[in-house]
Homo-oligomer: A and B are copies of this chain.
């Protein structure tokens, strides 16, 4: 059993109002020194056995079709 992580974040050029709201709240609460916050999604995918090349290809395919919207989001896949 192994765990593969898929991180999905908005592309840098896409505005992130949720992240902006969090950054604004940090400042109002007195936490200085934070210039930007971006919010994304993290998926923990448990696979049977050790992940081989085929498994990683499958998970990249799943990320592209189910987990991320490639028009506005980038994703990154790695073994935990």
Closest to A36 in B: B46
Docked pose: A49 CA to B32 CA in angstroms: 12
**Shortest Cβ gap from A80 to chain B (Å):** 11
* Distance to closest chain B CB from A53 (angstroms): 13
Among candidates B19, B39, B43, B48, residue contacting A35 with C-beta atoms closer than 8 Å: B48
Q: Is A40 among interface residues, defined by CB-CB distance under 8 A?
A: yes
Residues of B within 8 A of A37 (CB): 43-46
A35's closest neighbor in chain B, by CB? B46
Using CB atoms and an 8 Å cutoff, list the residues of chain A in contact with chain B.
1, 7-9, 19, 22, 25-26, 29, 31, 33-49, 55, 58-59, 61-62, 65-67
